[in-house]
Structure 1
Protein backbone atom coordinates (compact mmCIF):
# COMPACT_ATOMS: atom_id res chain seq x y z
CA UNK A 1 0.00 0.00 0.00
CA UNK A 2 1.28 3.45 -0.89
CA UNK A 3 2.32 5.54 2.08
CA UNK A 4 1.28 9.16 2.38
CA UNK A 5 3.88 11.90 2.03
CA UNK A 6 2.13 13.67 4.90
CA UNK A 7 2.68 12.64 8.51
CA UNK A 8 -0.18 12.19 10.95
CA UNK A 9 0.61 15.51 12.59
CA UNK A 10 0.59 17.34 9.24
CA UNK A 11 -2.80 15.84 8.32
CA UNK A 12 -4.29 16.91 11.64
CA UNK A 13 -2.74 20.37 11.24
CA UNK A 14 -4.31 20.78 7.80
CA UNK A 15 -7.70 19.64 9.09
CA UNK A 16 -7.46 22.09 12.04
CA UNK A 17 -6.65 24.94 9.62
CA UNK A 18 -9.82 24.09 7.69
CA UNK A 19 -11.85 24.04 10.92
CA UNK A 20 -10.42 27.48 11.76
CA UNK A 21 -11.96 28.86 8.57
CA UNK A 22 -9.30 28.66 5.85
CA UNK A 23 -10.96 27.84 2.49
CA UNK A 24 -10.34 24.31 1.24
CA UNK A 25 -9.04 25.31 -2.24
CA UNK A 26 -6.48 27.61 -0.63
CA UNK A 27 -5.32 24.83 1.74
CA UNK A 28 -4.99 22.40 -1.15
CA UNK A 29 -2.92 24.86 -3.18
CA UNK A 30 -0.73 25.69 -0.21
CA UNK A 31 0.04 22.04 0.65
CA UNK A 32 0.10 20.68 -2.92
CA UNK A 33 -2.73 18.16 -2.65
CA UNK A 34 -6.09 17.58 -4.30
CA UNK A 35 -9.39 18.54 -2.76
CA UNK A 36 -10.45 14.87 -2.96
CA UNK A 37 -7.56 13.99 -0.64
CA UNK A 38 -8.62 16.67 1.81
CA UNK A 39 -12.22 15.48 1.91
CA UNK A 40 -11.09 11.86 2.27
CA UNK A 41 -8.94 12.85 5.24
CA UNK A 42 -11.78 14.85 6.77
CA UNK A 43 -14.14 11.87 6.46
CA UNK A 44 -11.59 9.51 7.99
CA UNK A 45 -9.80 11.67 10.59
CA UNK A 46 -12.22 14.54 11.27
CA UNK A 47 -12.45 15.39 14.95
CA UNK A 48 -9.43 13.26 15.95
CA UNK A 49 -6.28 14.22 17.72
CA UNK A 50 -2.82 12.70 17.26
CA UNK A 51 -3.28 9.92 19.83
CA UNK A 52 -6.59 8.75 18.33
CA UNK A 53 -5.08 8.84 14.86
CA UNK A 54 -2.13 6.70 15.97
CA UNK A 55 -4.52 4.23 17.58
CA UNK A 56 -6.61 4.05 14.37
CA UNK A 57 -3.49 3.33 12.32
CA UNK A 58 -2.52 0.62 14.81
CA UNK A 59 -5.95 -1.03 14.43
CA UNK A 60 -5.73 -0.81 10.63
CA UNK A 61 -2.30 -2.50 10.66
CA UNK A 62 -3.59 -5.24 12.96
CA UNK A 63 -6.60 -5.75 10.69
CA UNK A 64 -4.33 -6.06 7.64
CA UNK A 65 -2.24 -8.70 9.38
CA UNK A 66 -5.36 -10.65 10.35
CA UNK A 67 -6.74 -10.45 6.81
CA UNK A 68 -3.47 -11.79 5.40
CA UNK A 69 -3.51 -14.73 7.82
CA UNK A 70 -7.22 -15.48 7.15
CA UNK A 71 -6.78 -17.85 4.15
CA UNK A 72 -4.45 -20.04 6.23
CA UNK A 73 -6.93 -20.42 9.07
CA UNK A 74 -9.53 -23.17 9.04
CA UNK A 75 -12.79 -21.25 9.01
CA UNK A 76 -15.89 -23.30 9.78
CA UNK A 77 -17.78 -22.01 6.74
CA UNK A 78 -14.95 -22.80 4.34
CA UNK A 79 -13.70 -26.05 5.84
CA UNK A 80 -15.92 -28.18 3.64
CA UNK A 81 -15.69 -25.99 0.55
CA UNK A 82 -12.81 -27.22 -1.58
CA UNK A 83 -11.22 -24.67 -3.89
CA UNK A 84 -12.52 -25.30 -7.36
CA UNK A 85 -13.37 -23.48 -10.54
CA UNK A 86 -16.05 -20.81 -10.44
CA UNK A 87 -19.53 -22.30 -10.33
CA UNK A 88 -22.13 -20.32 -12.21
CA UNK A 89 -25.28 -22.43 -12.43
CA UNK A 90 -27.56 -22.43 -9.40
CA UNK A 91 -28.18 -26.16 -9.89
CA UNK A 92 -24.44 -26.78 -9.49
CA UNK A 93 -24.32 -24.55 -6.40
CA UNK A 94 -27.23 -26.55 -5.04
CA UNK A 95 -25.22 -29.76 -5.55
CA UNK A 96 -22.24 -28.22 -3.73
CA UNK A 97 -24.45 -27.30 -0.76
CA UNK A 98 -26.11 -30.76 -0.74
CA UNK A 99 -22.70 -32.47 -0.73
CA UNK A 100 -21.51 -30.21 2.09
CA UNK A 101 -24.51 -31.12 4.24
CA UNK A 102 -24.20 -34.85 3.51
CA UNK A 103 -20.42 -35.19 3.86
CA UNK A 104 -19.65 -32.88 6.76
CA UNK A 105 -22.94 -32.73 8.63
CA UNK A 106 -22.99 -28.93 8.40
CA UNK A 107 -26.30 -27.17 8.83
CA UNK A 108 -28.31 -26.28 5.74
CA UNK A 109 -28.05 -22.59 6.56
CA UNK A 110 -24.26 -22.73 6.85
CA UNK A 111 -23.91 -24.71 3.62
CA UNK A 112 -26.18 -22.29 1.74
CA UNK A 113 -24.25 -19.27 3.03
CA UNK A 114 -20.94 -20.84 2.02
CA UNK A 115 -22.23 -21.78 -1.45
CA UNK A 116 -23.88 -18.39 -1.92
CA UNK A 117 -27.43 -19.60 -2.50
CA UNK A 118 -30.71 -19.20 -0.66
CA UNK A 119 -32.35 -22.01 1.30
CA UNK A 120 -35.20 -21.91 -1.23
CA UNK A 121 -32.73 -22.75 -4.00
CA UNK A 122 -31.31 -25.53 -1.81
CA UNK A 123 -34.74 -27.14 -1.38
CA UNK A 124 -35.91 -26.63 -4.99
CA UNK A 125 -36.62 -29.75 -7.02
CA UNK A 126 -37.50 -29.30 -10.70
CA UNK A 127 -40.80 -30.66 -11.97
CA UNK A 128 -40.04 -32.26 -15.31
CA UNK A 129 -42.88 -32.89 -17.69
CA UNK A 130 -43.43 -36.42 -18.99
CA UNK A 131 -44.23 -35.16 -22.48
CA UNK A 132 -41.00 -33.32 -23.31
CA UNK A 133 -40.69 -35.07 -26.68
CA UNK A 134 -44.22 -34.00 -27.58
CA UNK A 135 -43.52 -30.37 -26.61
CA UNK A 136 -40.28 -30.37 -28.62
CA UNK A 137 -42.14 -31.74 -31.66
CA UNK A 138 -44.78 -29.00 -31.33
CA UNK A 139 -42.07 -26.31 -31.02
CA UNK A 140 -40.35 -27.51 -34.20
CA UNK A 141 -43.65 -27.50 -36.10
CA UNK A 142 -44.51 -24.01 -34.82
CA UNK A 143 -41.09 -22.67 -35.86
CA UNK A 144 -41.61 -23.94 -39.40
CA UNK A 145 -45.25 -22.81 -39.72
CA UNK A 146 -45.13 -19.51 -37.81
CA UNK A 147 -41.75 -17.99 -38.67
CA UNK A 148 -42.64 -14.57 -37.21
CA UNK A 149 -43.53 -15.93 -33.76
CA UNK A 150 -41.02 -15.59 -30.98
CA UNK A 151 -40.58 -17.84 -27.98
CA UNK A 152 -43.23 -15.99 -25.99
CA UNK A 153 -45.96 -16.58 -28.54
CA UNK A 154 -44.96 -20.23 -28.99
CA UNK A 155 -45.00 -20.72 -25.20
CA UNK A 156 -48.42 -19.09 -24.83
CA UNK A 157 -49.84 -21.10 -27.74
CA UNK A 158 -48.64 -24.41 -26.29
CA UNK A 159 -49.77 -23.51 -22.79
CA UNK A 160 -53.19 -21.99 -23.56
CA UNK A 161 -54.23 -23.77 -26.76
CA UNK A 162 -52.64 -27.19 -26.37
CA UNK A 163 -52.76 -27.45 -22.56
CA UNK A 164 -49.07 -28.08 -21.86
CA UNK A 165 -47.89 -26.86 -18.46
Structure 2
Protein backbone atom coordinates (compact mmCIF):
# COMPACT_ATOMS: atom_id res chain seq x y z
CA UNK A 1 0.00 0.00 0.00
CA UNK A 2 1.38 3.40 -0.92
CA UNK A 3 2.18 5.95 1.73
CA UNK A 4 -0.53 8.26 0.37
CA UNK A 5 -3.22 5.50 0.48
CA UNK A 6 -2.14 4.53 4.00
CA UNK A 7 -2.40 8.17 5.13
CA UNK A 8 -5.88 8.47 3.61
CA UNK A 9 -6.94 5.21 5.27
CA UNK A 10 -5.66 6.32 8.69
CA UNK A 11 -7.32 9.71 8.29
CA UNK A 12 -10.64 8.07 7.35
CA UNK A 13 -10.59 5.82 10.41
CA UNK A 14 -9.61 8.74 12.64
CA UNK A 15 -12.46 10.85 11.27
CA UNK A 16 -15.04 8.06 11.55
CA UNK A 17 -14.19 6.96 15.11
CA UNK A 18 -15.90 9.87 16.94
CA UNK A 19 -18.96 9.40 14.73
CA UNK A 20 -19.08 5.71 15.59
CA UNK A 21 -19.03 6.45 19.32
CA UNK A 22 -21.69 9.13 18.92
CA UNK A 23 -23.98 6.65 17.19
CA UNK A 24 -23.60 3.88 19.77
CA UNK A 25 -26.58 3.71 22.13
CA UNK A 26 -25.79 5.65 25.29
CA UNK A 27 -28.31 3.57 27.21
CA UNK A 28 -25.94 0.60 27.32
CA UNK A 29 -23.90 2.30 30.02
CA UNK A 30 -26.84 3.20 32.23
CA UNK A 31 -29.47 0.76 31.03
CA UNK A 32 -31.74 -1.03 33.47
CA UNK A 33 -35.47 -1.67 33.06
CA UNK A 34 -39.08 -0.50 32.75
CA UNK A 35 -42.60 -1.89 32.46
CA UNK A 36 -43.24 -2.45 28.76
CA UNK A 37 -46.67 -4.15 29.01
CA UNK A 38 -49.14 -2.78 29.65
CA UNK A 39 -47.38 0.33 28.37
CA UNK A 40 -45.96 2.37 31.23
CA UNK A 41 -45.68 6.12 30.98
CA UNK A 42 -42.04 5.87 29.89
CA UNK A 43 -42.94 3.19 27.32
CA UNK A 44 -45.57 5.60 25.93
CA UNK A 45 -42.91 8.33 25.75
CA UNK A 46 -40.48 6.01 23.95
CA UNK A 47 -43.18 5.02 21.45
CA UNK A 48 -44.14 8.65 20.81
CA UNK A 49 -47.69 8.14 22.12
CA UNK A 50 -47.21 11.11 24.48
CA UNK A 51 -44.80 13.97 23.86
CA UNK A 52 -42.00 13.80 26.44
CA UNK A 53 -38.49 15.04 27.06
CA UNK A 54 -35.32 12.94 27.37
CA UNK A 55 -37.16 9.91 28.80
CA UNK A 56 -38.13 9.19 25.17
CA UNK A 57 -34.62 7.84 24.60
CA UNK A 58 -34.09 6.34 28.07
CA UNK A 59 -37.28 4.57 29.24
CA UNK A 60 -35.12 2.12 31.21
CA UNK A 61 -33.37 4.84 33.23
CA UNK A 62 -36.01 5.89 35.78
CA UNK A 63 -33.86 5.12 38.80
CA UNK A 64 -33.86 6.64 42.25
CA UNK A 65 -33.44 5.81 45.93
CA UNK A 66 -35.61 3.00 47.29
CA UNK A 67 -38.84 4.03 49.00
CA UNK A 68 -40.01 6.77 46.65
CA UNK A 69 -43.59 6.98 45.42
CA UNK A 70 -43.09 9.08 42.29
CA UNK A 71 -43.31 7.92 38.70
CA UNK A 72 -40.05 9.77 37.95
CA UNK A 73 -38.07 8.07 40.72
CA UNK A 74 -37.25 11.56 41.98
CA UNK A 75 -35.30 12.30 38.78
CA UNK A 76 -36.00 15.91 37.78
CA UNK A 77 -35.05 15.19 34.14
CA UNK A 78 -38.01 12.80 33.96
CA UNK A 79 -40.50 14.93 35.95
CA UNK A 80 -43.10 14.77 33.14
CA UNK A 81 -43.77 11.18 34.24
CA UNK A 82 -45.30 12.59 37.46
CA UNK A 83 -47.81 14.75 35.54
CA UNK A 84 -51.15 12.92 35.80
CA UNK A 85 -52.79 15.41 33.39
CA UNK A 86 -50.36 14.78 30.51
CA UNK A 87 -52.80 12.63 28.50
CA UNK A 88 -51.44 9.16 29.20
CA UNK A 89 -53.18 6.31 27.43
CA UNK A 90 -55.22 4.26 29.89
CA UNK A 91 -55.25 0.48 29.34
CA UNK A 92 -58.57 -1.31 30.02
CA UNK A 93 -57.87 -4.36 32.19
CA UNK A 94 -59.71 -7.00 34.19
CA UNK A 95 -59.30 -7.67 37.90
CA UNK A 96 -55.81 -9.14 37.53
CA UNK A 97 -53.06 -8.04 35.26
CA UNK A 98 -49.71 -9.29 33.95
CA UNK A 99 -46.97 -6.67 34.20
CA UNK A 100 -43.97 -7.32 31.95
CA UNK A 101 -40.68 -5.61 32.63
CA UNK A 102 -38.11 -5.20 29.85
CA UNK A 103 -34.69 -5.40 31.48
CA UNK A 104 -31.65 -4.03 29.72
CA UNK A 105 -29.32 -4.89 32.64
CA UNK A 106 -29.92 -7.84 34.92
CA UNK A 107 -29.42 -6.65 38.50
CA UNK A 108 -29.66 -8.80 41.60
CA UNK A 109 -33.22 -8.21 42.77
CA UNK A 110 -34.59 -8.01 46.30
CA UNK A 111 -38.28 -7.32 45.58
CA UNK A 112 -40.78 -6.13 43.02
CA UNK A 113 -43.58 -3.96 44.45
CA UNK A 114 -46.86 -2.83 42.95
CA UNK A 115 -49.05 -0.02 44.30
CA UNK A 116 -52.55 0.86 43.09
CA UNK A 117 -53.31 4.52 43.85
CA UNK A 118 -50.79 4.42 46.70
CA UNK A 119 -51.91 1.10 48.25
CA UNK A 120 -49.49 -1.83 48.05
CA UNK A 121 -51.26 -4.62 46.17
CA UNK A 122 -48.34 -7.00 45.57
CA UNK A 123 -44.77 -7.73 46.57
CA UNK A 124 -42.68 -10.44 44.96
CA UNK A 125 -39.49 -11.45 46.80
CA UNK A 126 -36.77 -12.45 44.35
CA UNK A 127 -34.19 -13.19 47.06
CA UNK A 128 -31.26 -11.71 45.13
CA UNK A 129 -31.96 -13.50 41.83
CA UNK A 130 -30.84 -11.94 38.55
CA UNK A 131 -33.86 -12.00 36.22
CA UNK A 132 -33.48 -12.50 32.48
CA UNK A 133 -34.15 -9.91 29.78
CA UNK A 134 -37.81 -9.78 30.79
CA UNK A 135 -39.90 -10.73 33.78
CA UNK A 136 -43.68 -10.91 34.18
CA UNK A 137 -45.76 -10.73 37.37
CA UNK A 138 -49.50 -11.30 37.72
CA UNK A 139 -51.02 -8.77 40.10
CA UNK A 140 -54.50 -8.99 41.66
CA UNK A 141 -56.32 -5.67 41.31
CA UNK A 142 -59.74 -6.93 42.48
CA UNK A 143 -59.83 -4.39 45.34
CA UNK A 144 -59.84 -1.54 42.82
CA UNK A 145 -62.06 -0.35 40.00
CA UNK A 146 -62.06 2.40 37.42
CA UNK A 147 -59.10 4.51 36.42
CA UNK A 148 -56.13 3.58 38.59
CA UNK A 149 -52.47 4.56 38.55
CA UNK A 150 -50.16 1.61 39.23
CA UNK A 151 -46.66 2.33 40.54
CA UNK A 152 -44.34 -0.58 39.80
CA UNK A 153 -41.01 -0.72 41.66
CA UNK A 154 -37.99 -2.93 41.02
CA UNK A 155 -35.83 -2.90 44.18
CA UNK A 156 -32.20 -3.79 43.50
CA UNK A 157 -30.58 -6.11 46.05
CA UNK A 158 -27.03 -4.76 46.07
CA UNK A 159 -27.59 -0.99 45.84
CA UNK A 160 -29.75 1.62 47.60
CA UNK A 161 -31.67 2.23 44.36
CA UNK A 162 -34.83 1.07 42.66
CA UNK A 163 -36.39 1.49 39.22
CA UNK A 164 -39.83 3.08 38.92
CA UNK A 165 -42.62 2.86 36.35
CA UNK A 166 -46.21 4.09 36.40
CA UNK A 167 -48.95 2.43 34.39
CA UNK A 168 -52.40 3.94 33.90
CA UNK A 169 -55.18 1.34 33.78
CA UNK A 170 -58.96 1.16 33.95
CA UNK A 171 -59.68 -1.79 36.27
CA UNK A 172 -62.77 -3.77 35.34
CA UNK A 173 -63.05 -2.34 31.84
CA UNK A 174 -61.71 -5.38 29.99
TM-score by length of 2: 0.18
Q: Which has the higher strand share?
A: 2
TM-score by length of 1: 0.18
Larger radius of gyration: 1
Report which structure shows greater RCO (CA 8 Å, sep ≥6): 2
